Chain A
Amino acid sequence: MADWSELAEALADYTVNCNENERLRKMQRDWSRTIHFTCTDTGTVFSMQVEKGEILSTPEGHIGTPDIVVSTTSEMFCDMFWGDLNPVQNYLRGEIAVKGSQEDIMRLDAISYVIWPDS
């Protein structure tokens, strides 16, 4: 199980990778969403505020009204934010649960795909 400090480290790396990727920023230029994350094993919850493709913050706790809700284990979240797993495979195996529109779910996966094409 990963604690919040590990998640925070992974999220920090993910944020830098997203925000510094010009192609991704252009692709997500019209995408502004609030995302809630829930660790099913530790109960840790955190949020991600995305504004026109830029990740503005990833605070602990659920902030605001979500457009997307993602639930999985803390370990899987860490691996996902470090780009060590392909989220689609785990999603289709039912290991990552998502609530949100199909388009938003694809956009969320597209972030990992653009940053780490080999994931």
Chain B
Amino acid sequence: MSSGDAQSGAALRRAVGTATATATSAGLAFAAIDYLGVISVLAYAPGAAAVTAILIGGLLVLLIAGIFSELNGLYPTAAGIRMYLGRAIGTRPALSVTFTYMSTVVLVIAADAFLIGAAARHVLHEPAGLTYVWIVILLALALAANLRGVRLAGWVQTSVTYTVLTGTAILSIIALAHSGRAPHRPLELFGKGAFSGVQAVAFALFLYAAFEWVTTTAEEARTPRVITRALFIAPILIWGVCTLFALAMTHLTSFAAIHHSSYPQLLLGSAALGTLGEAWMLALTILTALNTFNGGFLVASRFIYAAAREGHLPRELASLNVNAVPWLAVASLAGVSALVAALVFATGEWLLLVSVGAAIEAAIYALGALSLLILRRRETRERPFRLIAGRPLAALGVVVFSAMFLATALSDPKHPSRLSPLPLAIILTVTAASAGYMTLFAPRLQAAAAARARVGKPKRRPQRALVGPDEPDAQTPATGIADA
């Protein structure tokens, strides 16, 4: 909604407060892929230097929190980034970008399915080929639950998020206690070269990625400040947990062992507490999927539904099943996720998911900063949160996050010493497909919809003569009209 200010005085029956909004933000950010994200940071910032990278990444995320808080105050809407970009650079470019952005949802769903499949297979000592069976089972369960309209209650989501964060932190502390060593050379972030240091920070940024999606719940927040608080508190929680996890990884496992593993968190669990630790980390990994599958499918399918209803996607994608779920949108998401997971499984390139996801997020952050820069000039009205020194900080954000985009889009965490154009090529392909679709096909869909509306549907509303100000007022029923 553009303003969202002209509202009923009454508070919503089920308004979201700070604790729930913070859990939503942290839960969206902390997925199973974050365990691989830490490995990617360690690939460029070995040992305790990863802690410095995660800290710098966290400070940059606080800048993003400020930028998104102001944008959310201006447009508190479920359309989120799409609305901010639409107001700043126009609807079509905004939709092109948002379609690309939504591909990160597919990446994260696919990654979670793959990681849990790989972890389950490892714990159950099954042949490698069974990983894909697990992936299909997980996605089928998620698809069935979504099609039936099953939603995690708010309190369940909150409990799951805090359990995953606390569980990861506690196991990391136990692992550190086992090791008993102090962090070694934490400030040697650029020990492997200046660009490696930048890449480490860029991947650290990815650990917080998607925390800003909490802005899509702006319309159910008790006040706009609830979202602002969540945007600032959630990164602090993630920073604490990821720092402990990275330190524990450094102290208790060898990087060579975890670098090429798709379940490094299980290796840490095993090193800290044996079979119990492994089961502990497997349980937490499965719990992260509850949030990912619930939030990911929900956010992306509702975005697709709205775009189809608006006429930017084929109207079939807005088709609702008997549970009021946009079934084709949900099924398409599950199908594409299964395909991506199959590709990852076949190629063993799971760290590529991290590179692509990290690069897209950095690009979105740069575009968010650009939107604020533009909207500071266009929107002069008061907002509930105003970033101090907003213009220079937004300009800084555009530069820094663009650099972060390049640092991750040209990286290969599997072979950190060399550059790879593959993530950039994938992103450019997806972006070109989105832009091409918006330029060539979406206008045709809208023209067809407009023609249908002109020909097939006359106005239903009866025309009335205009009532002048001094004429007698129309009849005013005082009670309900259900029986009219």
Contact = CB atoms under 8 A, between A and B. Distances in A.
Nearest to A39: B6
Contact of B324 (A10, A28, A56, A82): A28
12 contacts: A5-B477, A23-B322, A27-B321, A58-B482, A59-B480, A79-B461, A86-B310, A92-B310, A94-B2, A94-B75, A103-B298, A106-B302
Interface in A63-107: 65-69, 71, 78-79, 82-84, 86, 88-89, 91-103, 105-107
Contact of B12 (A56, A95, A100, A113): A100
Interface of A: 3-6, 8-13, 15, 23, 26-28, 30-31, 34, 36, 38, 40, 45, 55-60, 62, 65-69, 71, 78-79, 82-84, 86, 88-89, 91-103, 105-107, 109-110, 113-114, 116, 118-119
Interface of B: 1-14, 75, 77-79, 82-83, 86, 149, 151, 216-217, 219-220, 298, 302, 305-306, 309-311, 318, 320-324, 452-453, 456-457, 459-462, 464, 467, 473-482, 484
Given A100-B219, A102-B302, A58 B480 contact: yes
Q: Which 8 A/B pairs are nearest by Cβ-Cβ distance?
A: A94-B2, A57-B480, A82-B461, A97-B1, A59-B480, A12-B484, A88-B309, A5-B474
Contacts of B311: 89
A98 B219 contact: yes
Contact of B481 (A15, A38, A106): A15
Given A36-B10, A67-B14, A106 B476 contact: no
Contacts of A36: 8, 10
A87 B441 CA distance: 23
Contacts, number: 166
Given A66-B10, A97-B6, A8 B484 contact: yes
Given A26-B322, A84-B461, A102-B217, A69 B8 contact: yes
A101 to B, nearest CB: 5
A66 B7 CA distance: 11
Given A3-B467, A69-B7, A99-B4, A60 B479 contact: yes
A60 B219 contact: no
Contact of B78 (A9, A13, A66, A102): A102
Given A58-B482, A98-B1, A67 B13 contact: yes
Contacts of A105: 78, 219
Contacts of A56: 482
A91 B1 contact: yes
A92 B480 contact: no
A103 B77 CA distance: 13
A69 B309 contact: no
A82 B460 contact: yes
Nearest to A75: B461
B464 A109 contact: no
B309 A97 contact: no
Contacts of B8: 36, 38, 45, 62, 66, 69, 71, 99
Contacts of A116: 457
Nearest to A67: B13
Contacts of B2: 93-95, 97
B32 to A, nearest CB: 24
B305 A106 contact: yes
Contact of A118 (B14, B77, B220, B456): B456
Given A57-B482, A82-B461, A88-B306, A27 B322 contact: yes
A97 B3 contact: yes
A100 B220 contact: yes
A84 B219 CA distance: 25
A19 to B, nearest CB: 9
Contacts of B217: 101-102
Contacts of B14: 67, 101
B452 A118 contact: yes
Contacts of B10: 36, 62, 65-66, 69
Contacts of B86: 92
B306 A69 contact: no
Contacts of B476: 3-5, 60
A82 B484 CA distance: 15
A15 B473 CA distance: 25
Contact of A78 (B75, B461, B475): B461
A97 to B, nearest CB: 4
Contact of A92 (B11, B79, B464, B482): B79
A109 B309 contact: yes
B75 A60 contact: no
Nearest to B218: A99
A93 B13 CA distance: 26
A107 B309 CA distance: 13
A8 B7 contact: no
Contacts of B324: 27-28, 31, 106-107, 110
A23 B321 CA distance: 10
Contacts of A66: 8, 10, 12-13
A69 B310 contact: no
Given A8-B477, A84-B459, 14 more contacts: A10-B461, A13-B460, A59-B479, A60-B478, A60-B479, A66-B10, A66-B12, A84-B460, A84-B461, A88-B310, A92-B306, A94-B2, A101-B219, A110-B324
Contacts of A58: 480-482
Contacts of B13: 34, 65-67
